[in-house]
Amino acid sequence: MSVAFSEAGGGPYLDVFGAVMNRAGAANRESLPAAARLVADVVAGNGIVYVFGSGHSQLAALDVNGRAGCIAPLQVIFDPTWGRAELVEGYGETLLCEMAFGERDCLIVISNSGTTAAPIEVALAARAAGVPVIVVTAIESSRSAGPRHSSGQKLWQLGDIVLDNGGAPNGGTGPFSGGGTQGSTPTSTLVAGALLHEIISEAVFALAARGLKPPVYRANTDAGGPEHNARLRERYVGRLKTVP
């Protein structure tokens, strides 16, 4: 994975984003294929890929939900407070009250800090159910931060597969090259979204290589697209909850 923007043709944010995306690509050369293999195994085994994003990271989770080019057996664990209650212990368990992890499933959890209660509790619940966990977080800043959950754990410690978003604390990357405000170039959500799409894309190719037909949504503007998507939704009816 490589993204390159020139200073002349990019602009301050695009230059920073390109650098962070390149760091994330380099850092995840082994973890991305591993995550894709796990997702492919889950889909091939008729399981569900659960995705939870804490705070702004919920945007990354929603970006792979029910859209053309993404897999149908995917369930976003939706937080109606959009992270406002993520520090409240016990809230993560509440978000799972209508969810039931199964042995064929997996969970992807996205949190830049990896220290707040909600993502840690969602990951702990999955592990207790024997479900493998993929984590997307800012490794460097998370390791240097003190734990904020009573378990004393951070999200990266709970992942079977851990992906680094390449970012700095608070989702920022530092000042612009020409000066500016520290942390003024947030990248964590966009990078997390790119990593999720990479995982799904690689998983789809892996499924096809196994001779399986990946359950991927098509654009409704494509000929036969609406009918194809309706058949996919029927295939997983009763197993997926509607996301607001």
Domains and CATH numbers, the chain: 28-174+181-235 (3.40.50.10490)
> Tokens representing 15?
């230059």
pLDDT, tens digit, 9 for 90 and up, residues 7-50 = 556 688 888 889 999 999 999 999 999 999 999 999 999 999 99
Cα-based distances in Å from 18 to 15, 25, 178:
5, 10, 16
CA 119 from centre of chain: 12
pLDDT, tens digit, 9 for 90 and up, residues 152-175 = 899 999 999 999 999 865 555 544
Q: Would you give the end-to-end CA distance of the chain in angstroms?
A: 32
127: which DSSP letter?
H
Mean of pLDDT over the chain: 90
DSSP SS3 for 136: strand
pLDDT, tens digit, 9 for 90 and up, residues 40-90 = 999 999 999 999 999 999 999 999 999 999 999 999 999 999 999 999 999
DSSP SS3 for 182: coil
Q: How many CB atoms lie within 10 A of CB 81?
A: 13
